[in-house]
């Protein structure tokens, strides 16, 4: 009898999880707003700086790695 209650409770939790996820997702989306032009430009600038920084770091590592590779071989 007690085992049946826990199984039933677990089934209810398993069935409620997707519904709760969808409900919370809808609440989140209703609170979101589109960025205005100023905010959008700040995002673009930050992403662009990130791309350039990662590219410079990668290029510097490659420049350092090429001579080391020839010394080892």
Q: Where are the domains of the chain?
A: 1-32, 34-73
Secondary structure (3-state) at 33: coil
| Per-residue model confidence (pLDDT) at position 39 | 96
CA angle 47, 49, 51 (to 5 degrees): 70
| Per-residue model confidence (pLDDT) at position 13 | 77
| Per-residue model confidence (pLDDT) at position 72 | 78
Parts of the chain with a pLDDT under 70: 1-6, 73
| Per-residue model confidence (pLDDT) at position 69 | 79
Residue 62 and residue 51: Cα distance in Å, rounded?
Answer: 16
**10-16: Cβ within 8 A, 24+ apart:** none
pTM of the entire structure?
0.54
E strand residue ranges, the chain: none
**H or E element at residue 32:** none
């Amino acid at each position: 009898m007690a085992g049946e209650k826990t199984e039933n409770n677990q089934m209810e939790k398993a069935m409620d999880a997707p519904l709760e996820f969808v409900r919370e997702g809808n609440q989140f989306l209703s609170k979101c707003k589109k960025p205005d032009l100023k905010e959008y430009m700040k995002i673009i600038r930050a992403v662009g700086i990130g791309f350039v920084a990662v590219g410079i770091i990668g290029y510097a590592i490659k420049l350092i790695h090429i001579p080391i590779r020839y010394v080892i071989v």
